Structures are given as structure tokens and as C-alpha cells.
């Protein structure tokens, strides 16, 4: 089992190795333990690919999460657009239904007015005709009664003359 070593930890070890090294007098050079130096370098060669692998895995995970989030966001947007379209359709259908209902109501009111006017005109005509006929019948009846009363009065007057 390989224990992951942090690359910065190895750089710190390398820095400590140089700091602990022997300074060459009158130069900026430092002598270090060669075996310890190459051991740290070998560890760096192992650690760098591991850390690159971990970084790549993290990057892949990040890209996967972003892809999933993007897909989810696109799905949410598509659902919202579909719902908005459905609501617009429903609104348009509702508006059309209301307009049609208003048109039907207006037509029914016009038809009712026409029917009422026709019924009123018919009733007025029929009642006027009836009034005219009843007036004529009343005049005929009045004339008949007047004639009968006149005859009766004449007959009574003639009968009284003959009886006397």
C-alpha cells in the first residue's frame, strides 16, 4: 500500500535538507547528504504522478458534477418553458372560450329581443284585432238591444191604444 505524500511536504523536506547541509566556505554552495537528497527526489517522482492523478480525478468529478448540474438546469428550464407554454395555451383557450361565451350570450340576447319583439307585435296585433271585433260586436249588440227596446216600446204603445 502506497501512502500518499504531499508534494509540499517533500519540498519542505528538501528545503530542510539544504538548510541542514554544510556550507562551503566563501561560496554560496551547500553540501548535502546525497542519499537523503535522492531519496526525497524519488519520493517526489512518486508523489507528483499520484497528486496529478488525484487532481485529474478531482477535475473529472468537477466536470461530472458540472455536467449533471447543467443537465438538471436544462431540464428545469425545459420544464419551465413547457409549463409556461401550457399556461399560455390554457390562457389562450380560456380567452377564446370567454370570447365565444360572450359572443353566444350577445347572440342569445339579440335572439331573445327579436323573439320578444315578435311576440309583442303578434300580441298587439291580435289584441287590436280582438278589440276591433269586440267593438263591432258591442255596436251590433247595442243596436240590436236598441231595436228590440224600440219595438217593445212601440208594441206596448200600440197594445195600450188598442186596449183602450
pLDDT per residue as tens digits for the range 24-78: 899 989 899 999 999 999 888 887 877 788 888 899 999 999 999 999 999 999 9
Mean per-residue pLDDT of the chain: 89
Mean pLDDT of 106-114: 94
Confidence of residue 163 (pLDDT cuts 50, 70, 90): confident
Mean pLDDT of 99-128: 93
Coil/strand/helix, residue 104: helix
Size of the chain, expressed as the number of residues it contains: 164
**Boundaries of every domain in the chain:** 7-139
pLDDT of residue 1: 42
Residue bearing the bigger pLDDT, 54 or 80: 80
Coil/strand/helix, residue 3: coil
pLDDT per residue as tens digits for the range 132-143: 999 999 999 999
β-strand pairing of 22-23 with 30-31: antiparallel
pTM above 0.75, yes or no: no
Query: 7 near 47, Cβ under 8 Å?
Result: yes
Model confidence at 93: pLDDT above 60: yes
Query: 70 near 24, Cβ under 8 Å?
Result: no
CB atoms within 10 A of CB 40: 21
Amino acid at each position: 500500500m502506497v501512502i500518499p505524500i504531499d508534494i509540499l511536504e517533500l519540498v519542505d523536506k528538501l528545503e530542510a535538507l539544504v538548510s541542514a547541509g554544510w556550507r562551503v566556505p566563501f561560496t554560496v554552495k551547500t553540501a548535502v547528504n546525497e542519499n537523503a537528497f535522492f531519496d526525497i527526489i524519488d519520493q517526489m517522482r512518486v508523489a507528483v504522478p499520484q497528486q496529478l492523478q488525484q487532481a485529474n480525478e478531482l477535475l473529472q468529478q468537477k466536470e461530472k458534477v458540472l455536467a449533471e448540474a447543467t443537465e438538471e438546469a436544462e431540464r428545469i428550464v425545459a420544464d419551465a418553458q413547457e409549463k409556461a407554454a401550457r399556461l399560455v395555451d390554457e390562457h389562450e383557450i380560456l380567452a377564446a372560450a370567454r370570447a365565444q361565451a360572450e359572443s353566444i350570450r350577445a347572440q342569445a340576447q339579440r335572439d331573445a329581443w327579436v323573439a320578444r319583439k315578435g311576440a309583442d307585435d303578434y300580441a298587439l296585433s291580435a289584441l287590436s284585432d280582438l278589440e276591433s271585433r269586440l267593438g263591432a260586436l258591442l255596436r251590433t249588440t247595442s243596436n240590436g238591444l236598441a231595436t228590440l227596446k224600440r219595438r217593445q216600446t212601440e208594441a206596448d204603445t200600440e197594445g195600450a191604444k188598442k186596449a183602450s
